[in-house]
Structure 1
Amino acid sequence: MVEQYFSAEPASEDVRRRLTVTLQGNEATVETSNGVFSGSRLDLGTSVLLREVPEPPQRGTFLDLGCGWGPVSLALAFAAPDATVWAVDVNVRALELTAANAKRNGCTNVHVTQTDESGAPLPEQTATACETMPADATFDVIWSNPPIRVGKEALHTLLMTWLPRLKPNGGTAYLVVQRNLGADSLIPWLAGALGDDYEVGKYHSAKGYRVIEVVRNK
């Protein structure tokens, strides 16, 4: 499973299929494929995240961490068409799908960028769909259904690469994690790793998932 969706170049055959999904009250026609996370449907955890998170601000810079085929990116773009939405993933196929799905649905404010295996943004992009993210980019909002199954160490590295990029004085992240895959233990770990400038807590629980809130105060 890890190779299938958390690899730069998936080994599985690229078989495209179309879905119609509702994101933030907007019906979207999207394309998915093998070798990306939840390639045949809108994942239940993502559905919980999108249903429970508060509306984002109308302007700012947002991040979809681990974008897959792009449902969170599209939801952010629909909710705040004047914001800048960055979608990041290690998986080139996922990034191509996100870019195509954004274009198909008129979400011109979505930009995709590839990361390395540790989750850090690549300084130069080679895939045609990708753009280079500014090195000093910070985020008002981060929404993520993070890749829990990559393992604890890799997950921790990924989260600590991006959560410190929340803007001081109110930058907020929402992460959805299955309860039986370590959501409750992740909360105190994040609080300790991020330090006193952040508040970390459980925002909501539904259908076996926790939505974790991270707020940067300073």
Structure 2
Amino acid sequence: MSVSEGQETGVRRDEQYFSAQPSSEDRRRQLSVKLAGADRHVEVSNGVFSASRLDLGTSVLLRHAPAPAQSGNILDLGCGWGPIALHVALLSPRAKVWALDINERALELTRSSAMLNGVSNIEAVTAQDLPADLSFDQIWSNPPIRVGKEVLHNLLMTYLPRLSQGGSAYLVVQRNLGSDSLITWLNGQLPQGWEASKYASSKGYRVVEVTRP
């Protein structure tokens, strides 16, 4: 559920972000991608974001964000076929990684890739299956900027406030799609003492860090 590229494989762009059951043909195939420092086999399909490769924005996030928390609950917000969740789960086997998406096919792919890689600490869920009282030590996301500001802002302000005390979030956003204005907006919306700032920049992207005191 990321946004740095447009329509792929003839699928409507909004299907990736808004459809629980994509209407496109489910043509599953395997890719080899580098996650957690090694080449991993993953399963991808149509109707899910970046179905032919590891998205550049996601790659920037995985290379430049700090090491994930070693324990506790970590949220992959808008997991797609699961590269962020897999990377984090492989690096932090004692943490529980919650892979969240509206797209049921994306969740199936995340579960399948977890099995392919012997990963047992990922829980792939829709919002209604996420425990309402659950807080997160970290949130990682390549958020869907192209869904529009209203939808994006609602998404971020639904989940960022669920950071635990001392928790942090890492979001990757293209500079030309408003990363700096998003930082300004977040600082105007988050509770007093919280902070959004630029953590890293690479290849036209910014990694935005949000911290809760």
Give the number of equivalent residue pairs.
201
Residue 58 of structure 1 deviates from its aligned partner by 1.3
User: Any idea what the Cα deviations from partners look like across 1:116-147, whole Å, max 9, x if unmatched?
Assistant: xxxxx21xxxxxxxxx3221110001110011
Higher relative contact order (CA 8 A, sep 6+): 2
**Maintained 8 Å contact 1:73/1:87:** yes
- Matching residue of 1:149: 146
SS of 1:5 mapped into structure 2: helix
Whole-Å separation in 2 of the counterparts to 1:137 and 1:195: 19
Structure 2 residue corresponding to 1:159, chosen from 153, 156, 161? 156
Instruction: Provide the C-alpha distance between the structure 1 equivalents of 2:44 and 2:15, rounded to a whole number of angstroms.
Output: 14
Q: For structure 2, which runs of at least 5 residues remain unmatched after alignment?
A: 1-11
2:212 to 197, 207, 216: 216
**Aligned match of 1:99:** 111
Taking only aligned residues, the RMSD between alpha carbons, in angstroms, comes to 1.0
Secondary structure at the aligned position of 2:164 is classed as coil
Q: CA deviation at 1:101?
A: 0.7
Partner of 1:87 in structure 2? Answer: 99
Secondary structure at 2:22 match in 1: coil
Choose the corresponding residue for 2:63, options 47, 51, 54. Answer: 51
Range with greater deviation from structure 2 (2-11 or 79-88) = 2-11
1:182-212 CA-to-partner distances (Å, cap 9, x unmatched) read 1110001011111313111000111000100
**Alpha-carbon separation, structure 2, partners of 1:206 and 1:69:** 23
Structure 1 distance, partners of 2:50, 2:13, is 12
Q: d(CA) in 1 for partners of 2:182 and 2:191? A: 14
**Structure 1: how far apart are the matches of 2:14 and 2:23?**
8
Structure-2 residue corresponding to 1:180: 176
Contact 1:10-1:35 within 8 A present in 2 as well: yes
2:187 pairs with one of 153, 175, 191: 191
Contact 1:113–1:133 (Cα < 8 Å) also in 2: yes
**For residues 113 and 185 of structure 1, what CA distance do their matches in structure 2 show?**
30
Tell me the distance in 1 between the aligned counterparts of 2:181 and 2:24.
33
User: 1:180 offset after TM fit, Å?
Assistant: 0.9
2:48 matches 1:69: no
What is the rounded CA distance, in whole Å, between the counterparts of 2:117 and 2:212 in structure 1?
32
Q: In the alignment, which residue of structure 1 is the partner of 2:20?
A: 8
Kept in 2: contact 1:67–1:94 (CA 8 A):
yes
Q: Could you say which residue in structure 1 is the equivalent of 2:3?
A: none
SS in 2 for 1:18: strand
Could you state the TM-score of these two structures normalised by the residue count of structure 1? Answer: 0.90
Report deviation, 1:28: 1.1
- Which has the larger displacement, 22-31 or 170-179? 22-31
- Give the aligned partner of residue 9 of structure 2: none
In 2: Cα distance, 1:47 partner to 1:24 partner: 11
Q: Which runs of 5+ in 1 are unaligned?
A: 115-120, 123-131
